[in-house]
Structure 1
Amino acid sequence: MAGELVLITGGTGLIGIKTIHTALKAGYSVRAAVRSQSKADAVLATPTVKAINPGSRLSFVIVPDILADSAYDEAVKGVKYVIHVASPVIKGEGFTPDQYETHLIQPALKGTAGILESAYKTHGIKRIVITSSEVAIIPWEEFIAKEVDTVYDDTYQIPFPAGPYSHVFEAYSASKVRALVATKDFVAEKKPEWDIINIMPSFVVGDNEMITDPKLISDGTVSAAMAQVLGGDSGWGAVPSTSVHVADVARLHVDALNPKIDGNQSFLAVSEGERGTRWEEAIAIVNKNFPEAVKKGVLPNNGTAATKRTKVDASRTEKVFGFKFASYEEQVKSAVKQYLELVGEAAA
């Protein structure tokens, strides 16, 4: 409820910073877990935080190593809610096969287990919201390589895929499956006083106020849309046809704190219905909305993208939370507007 204290981990990432902004706008007090004071300073420097001017409603706790034993013990004390966003993501440079277990799977598993263990040691927490992923319930080969007619929804379940892993995305998917299974097992075994909601985003696209260097605008999943706008390609080949606006993902995390929404369930965050996202349509979107920037060459808008059909049904999420996911066009516009601002060009 508004005014109560929520701990947010991973607050300096794409989803995390938007979640901090959204929680503050909703009236919550936020304790952000960050790795260093410089990270806290970067959060405070974002235009949205400055505009909100939250004062004592925004505080920080330094957690330098989220994988250390009892890393969150102090961070969870006195909070009513936890939003656990922190987890490894696939960056552009990727990981080598010998790093899959150490850099993807174990950090995702131990980070999630750690926050649950710390929360279990204290009292007064009402709910924990965890950033999961659609790949926690979709077999990775069907997500990346195979086109099947299955329409995946949030009731779908898959077993933990054991290694060794042949692809970085297989390892990433395994990390999300394993964290989800571990979370459900923890609740079943420990029966904590709090419940859990898992938010399962697809490829997240949109603005990120933690980025101040325009060269980093297409970092992470945003590159699936933005790389082609900047004249290149994402380097991922055909990308599954699932995307979601970062603002919608943040809203789900914060709205999920509402006790009117039953706990111990999962919600997919995927826009555009069963048709899905067509990544290559970013070119037309940019030509339509930013013609002057294209004409001047600020936006080359001549790169390539390809879409791999993947059918996901997130309609239950829209029904329960009472809003419709923003379109791919809005996602692209959000990222492009930020890029133009960073390079000092008018968004027209």
Structure 2
Amino acid sequence: MSSELILLTGASGHIGFRTLRFALEHGYRVRAVVRSQQKADAVQNNRALIKLKADSQLSFVEVPDFTIPNAFDKAVTDDVKYIIHCASPMPFSAPTTDHAYEEYIKPAVDSTLEVLRSAAKRPSVRRVVITSSCIGVIDLAAAFSDTGKVFTGDTRQPNMDGPFEPGTPSFVAYAAGKVNALNAAEEWMGKHQPHFDIIHLMPTYVLGRNDMCDSVAGMQLDSNSIPLNFMLGTEASPQPMAMVVNHIDDCARIHVEALAPRIEGNQSFMICYDCDSKPQWNDAKGIVEKHFPEAVKAGLLPCRGDVLSVPSILDSKKTVETFGDFKYTYEDAVFSLVNQYLELCEKESGHVNSLKD
């Protein structure tokens, strides 16, 4: 157990909120950076957090704009020992954007650099953990086709500098933000040689219960939407997808365990089920039929959609060697997200409780 203080960004997001809970559960104090009091209230009043009874360990600081100079100076005080930077523009809110650079790339790069600059002003900071993404280190084509290449947390890609025309897909803009932010952070660290070290984490599609989601519609705004959509659909997905997933609880655990002194700094880790496990996106249908047969029979989960899985092209052996085996499976993740989906359906319609196995 530790009472050391973590500064955490992104606490209202899927990864950030579960990381917050994991940190509090393990005795850390957390100062959550939020853009508004409304965000702070949403986090603090979440039922999963209230159950922890950890109010004395949690505080908030409001930073409306993460990208302006000195944005985090008031948040990174002399008692902050660690920083976990989870906040990032996400690609699920809209299918396309006419402002790719302004909405995705610039915020990802600028907020990351501002975190590092503020950390450099405080000798108390020992480590910064940054949530990157697998899409920040792979060849973008490998997300949708079998290129035969294998990527690790130590793979790097050149900056994606555009031009980004109106209508650039949000997924491409998100990828560019992750690639460019990772490269910018490593360039800054090399140039300034600060007193702290850094850990980059590269999650894949993160699946499992999202406690900050309170509606069925909200489940379409994170990576849970991918298996959920084809379980609810009746047609084949028009595009193959790389089968690269991890459970939210493993992802959050690794974020917090990355603070441990036993973990050598200035490293990068892929957070993904091992290539050798070879799960398929369509395995979700059998999982749902096994655990929620009545919901399938009632048509709430038709399980008639289809998506072609591109073989995993990510190597997470270094992560397993450092943090231990992943504790959860694709089945656990699917069960968790579908269970939440049915809970939200019940909340919104009142007719689902009897359909769970």
TM-score by structure 1 length?
0.94
Matched, 1:79 2:85: no
Q: CA deviation at 1:232?
A: 5.9
Per-residue CA distance 1:45-74 (angstroms, 9 max, x = gap): 222211111022011111111122211111
Alignment CA distance shift 1:250-1:114 (3 Å): same
Deviation digits for residues 239-294 of structure 1 (CA, Å, limit 9, x no counterpart) = 21101111111111000000100000100001143454411221111001111222
Amino acid at match of 2:118: S
Identical positions, percent: 38
| Shift in alpha-carbon separation, 1:238–1:325, aligned structure 2, 3 A | farther
Query: 2:230, 2:237 within 8 Å by CA — same for their partners in 1?
Result: no
Taking the aligned partners of 1:112 and 1:92, their CA distance within structure 2 comes to 21
Does residue 327 (structure 1) correspond to residue 329 (structure 2)? The answer is yes
Alpha-carbon distance in 2 for matches of 1:222, 1:179: 24
Code of the aligned partner of 1:59: S
RMSD: 1.9
Displacement of 1:102 in angstroms is 0.9
Equivalent residue letter for 2:182: L
Tell me, yes or no, if structure 1 residue 194 matches structure 2 residue 196: yes
Superposition pairs of residues 1-348 of structure 1, within 5 angstroms: 2-77=2-77, 78-96=79-97, 98-144=98-144, 146-165=145-164, 167-231=169-233, 237-344=239-346, 345-346=352-353, 347-348=356-357
8 Å contact from structure 1 (residues 271, 326) kept in 2: no
CA contact (8 A) 1:274 1:312 kept: no
Tell me if structure 2 keeps the 8 A contact 1:237–1:306: yes
Distance change in 2, residues 1:44/1:233 (3 Å): farther
CA change 1:140–1:44 in 2 (3 A) is same
Partner SS state of residue 198, structure 2: strand
Give the unaligned 5+ runs of structure 2.
347-351
Q: Secondary structure at the match of 2:328?
A: coil
Change (3 A) 1:170 1:337: same
Cα deviations by residue, 1:134-162 (Å, 9 ceiling, x for unpaired)? 11211112333x42222212232222133
Greater CA drift, 256-265 or 332-341: 332-341
Whole-Å Cα distance in 2 between the matches of residues 267 and 290 of structure 1?
A: 34
Aligned to 2:349: none
Amino acid corresponding to residue 150 of structure 2 in structure 1: V
**SS of corresponding position for 1:65:** coil
- Contact kept, 8 Å, 1:241 with 1:307, in 2: the verdict is yes
Question: Structure 1 residues 92, 279: closer, same or farther in 2, change over 3 A?
Answer: farther
Report the Cα offset of residue 183 of structure 1.
Answer: 1.0
User: Does the Cα contact within 8 Å between 1:207 and 1:334 map onto a contact in 2?
Assistant: yes
Deviations 1:178-228 (A, max 9, x none): 111111111111111110000100111111111111222232211111112
What is the TM-score of this pair, normalised by structure 2?
0.91
Offset of residue 332 of structure 1: 0.7
Displacement, 1:167? 4.5
Please give the alpha-carbon distance, in whole angstroms, between the structure 2 residues aligned to 1:232 and 1:207. Answer: 24
Distance (Å, rounded) in 2 between the aligned partners of 1:210 and 1:68: 27
Closer/same/farther in 2, CA of residues 293 and 15 from structure 1, 3 Å limit: same
2:213/2:219 contact within 8 Å kept: yes
Aligned length: 346
Q: 1:293 is aligned with what amino acid?
A: A
Q: Give the 3 Å change call, closer, same or farther, for CA 200–101 of structure 1 in structure 2.
A: same
Amino acid at match of 2:81: K
Give the whole-Å Cα distance in 2 for the aligned partners of 1:325 and 1:168.
31
